[in-house]
């Protein structure tokens, strides 16, 4: 029997070392469990439920005695609820947060379409070293009619 066949046979059984069932990579019943990202892609959210199982990373599949350093928590799909729709207030708050990351704190002339390197450079490149900005990379100075960039 090949190593891969032995690994797949062993991985089909969930382990309960940490109190939760543990699954190896690729052996999770997808109709029962999903990660947060998988739930979000399906339009669902965990809705306050605790993790129901643990997914071990690919590197730990060959080392069953090793404690997994990169586990992914799995949530039950049947207990998940639909994602709450975004309200206008939530959209405004998100837009304000993104505006703070994409507006130069020095000149405040433009709002760029990308996040500025404020942690390393501290301002836009035009303020930092005089590099002219491409007009296609920023929004005009006048705000949109509804006040939101999105």
pLDDT tier at 124, thresholds 50, 70, 90: confident
Per the CB < 8 A criterion, the answer to whether 51 and 34 are in contact is: no
- pTM exceeds 0.95: no
Average pLDDT of every residue of the chain: 81
Q: Helix and strand tally (H, E) in the chain? A: 4, 8
Q: Find, among 2, 21, 25, 7, the residue nearest to 62 by Cα.
A: 7
Distance, in Å, from the CA atom of 143 to the CA atom of 123, rounded to the nearest integer, reads 21
In the chain, where does DSSP find H-type helix?
A: 3-11, 36-41, 88-102, 125-129
Predicted local distance difference test score (pLDDT) of residue 13: 44
Name the residue with higher pLDDT: 107 or 42: 42
Distance, in Å, from the CA atom of 107 to the CA atom of 103, rounded to the nearest integer, reads 9
Distance, in Å, from the CA atom of 104 to the CA atom of 115, rounded to the nearest integer, reads 10
DSSP run (H or E) holding 44: strand 44-45
Distance, in Å, from the CA atom of 15 to the CA atom of 105, rounded to the nearest integer, reads 52
Q: What is the per-residue pLDDT across 14-41, written as a single tens digit (0 to 9) for each?
A: 444 558 888 888 888 889 999 999 999 9
Predicted local distance difference test score (pLDDT) of residue 93: 95
């Amino acid at each position: 029997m090949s190593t891969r066949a032995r690994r797949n046979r062993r991985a089909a059984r969930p382990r309960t070392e940490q109190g939760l069932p543990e699954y190896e990579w690729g052996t999770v019943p997808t109709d029962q469990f999903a990660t947060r990202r998988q739930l979000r892609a399906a339009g669902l959210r965990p809705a306050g439920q605790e993790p129901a199982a643990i997914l071990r990373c690919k590197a730990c599949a060959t080392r069953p005695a090793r404690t997994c350093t990169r586990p992914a928590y799995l949530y039950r799909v049947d207990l998940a609820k639909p994602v709450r729709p975004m309200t206008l207030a939530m959209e405004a708050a998100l837009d304000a947060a993104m505006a703070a990351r994409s507006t130069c704190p020095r000149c405040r002339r433009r709002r760029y379409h990308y996040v500025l390197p404020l942690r390393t450079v501290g301002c836009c490149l035009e303020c930092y070293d005089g590099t002219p900005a491409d007009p296609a990379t920023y929004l005009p100075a006048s705000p949109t009619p509804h006040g939101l960039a999105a």
